[in-house]
Amino acid sequence: MYHPDGAFLEQWHPSALTGSIGTLPESLLPLVPYRDQLVLLRRLNLMDGNGDGHEEAARCLLSGSIDPVNGSLDVHLADHFKQALLHVGIQASKNQGHSISFLPGGSEKIADDSPLAVYQRLFQGSGMPAGASDAAMLKNVEKELQSFLAKTDIERERNKLQQHLQQIQVLLRPTVGCSGYDLSAFAYDDSKKWEDKTAPVIMKMQMSNLVHAMECGLARVATLQFSRHTSTIKMDYDWLNRWNNEWPMESHQASHNSGAIHAQQKKWLNQQLAILFGLLAARPEPRVGRGGSMLDNSLVLVVTEIAQGASHTRKDMPYYLMGGKGIAGYNPGRILDCNGAPHSQLLYSMAQVLGGKPQGSYASAGALKGLIPI
């Protein structure tokens, strides 16, 4: 999950560099119910911690390089699981050149900012499990693909065929709840998706889209992008009182001019993410043979492109991981001192934790010491 323009570090980072999680700082207070699933990262640097500017920093967030020609972690993991990446946003695609996801070759993977379009595609279109007549056709296609697979030894072709087979198996899989959720619970007008006041409902709908898609087996990897770097979004919601009679500030403006307002903006974002974590925690893991909740078996990485707006520093980035208590070898519920390591090591280790192979620009970074046993 991406949020823009860094954080007010004095109200984000705990005072400790390592150990168990005690009292959470102001911006992280909404995460208290999920403290045992939380890993707070300290002294992790974006790349080498140097540089200036939001754009190049955003490009390297998930790719490990300011030139994302080798693609990004989310795309790599989706390819590993043989499923398409579900990339959704809240005012993320308003301008080009602001994505955090990249395909091999370096082209942007653009977020879909319409929660209604995402819902329709997932639960009312081709993303839906097949009906009886469609199932018969899919089974015939499955049989043909299996025949082709048995006849070829070319690895690239076998990988493609296996990917198609897995998608067909997802569509044929008997699932519950794949009709989506009750849209009437959200007062949403798609023509107003670019209005700042609509952002809270879009955020909730996109999170519902992600959780239901994963519960149904329609996605294994998702990227949720809240706005974009140097964001102009004004978060003047009912939780945010005005300080000193100031008018509501844009995200980027607050990051430079008001630590108090910026800290509250980040607290609001974590309040929304707590809803996402609650949805995952309330649902049993749908994959056969896995116990626990969806949160126990998921790993959510929360990132931003700079550490603090006023200084544009990229050192001691305000990142955290949520979930994963049911993942073998992974130990949440703590603060991890990264001791100045580059964030590309975090990307490397996340690929390992989730069963993928580190690749692209972060493949040579090596593992982040202390995140998982090496």
Edge-to-edge strand order for the sheet containing 334-337? 299-302, 320-323, 38-42, 334-337
Distances (CA, A) of 356 to 7, 66, 81, 363: 30, 22, 8, 11
pLDDT in tens, 170-208: 666 554 457 788 999 999 999 999 999 999 999 999 999
Look at residue 128 in the predicted model and tell me its pLDDT. 42
Q: For residue 81, with 0-12 CB atoms within 10 Å meaning exposed, 13-18 middle and 19 or more buried, which class applies?
A: middle
pLDDT at residue 176, as a whole number: 47
What's residue 178's pLDDT?
74
Q: How confident is the model at residue 153 (pLDDT cuts 50, 70, 90)?
A: confident
Q: What is the pTM of this model?
A: 0.85
Closest among 261, 256, 257 to 242, alpha carbons compared: 261
CA atoms within 13 A on the CB side of 301: 19
The per-residue pLDDT for range 335-372, each reduced to its tens digit, is 999 999 999 999 999 999 999 999 999 999 999 999 98
pLDDT for the residue 168: 73
pLDDT at position 117: 95
Task: Break the chain into its structural domains and give their ranges.
Answer: 9-129+173-362
Let me know: does 232 contact 252? Beta carbons within 8 Å.
Answer: yes
| DSSP label of 64 | S
Contact 7, 270 (CB under 8 A): no
Domain topology for 9-129+173-362: Alkaline Phosphatase, subunit A (3.40.720)
Cα–Cα distances in Å, from 19 out to 16, 186, 305?
7, 41, 26
Structure confidence by residue, pLDDT tens digits, 250-273: 899 889 988 888 998 999 999 999
Return the pLDDT at 201.
95
pLDDT band at 303 (very low <50, low <70, confident <90, very high): very high
Dihedrals phi, psi of 342, to nearest 5 degrees: -75, 150
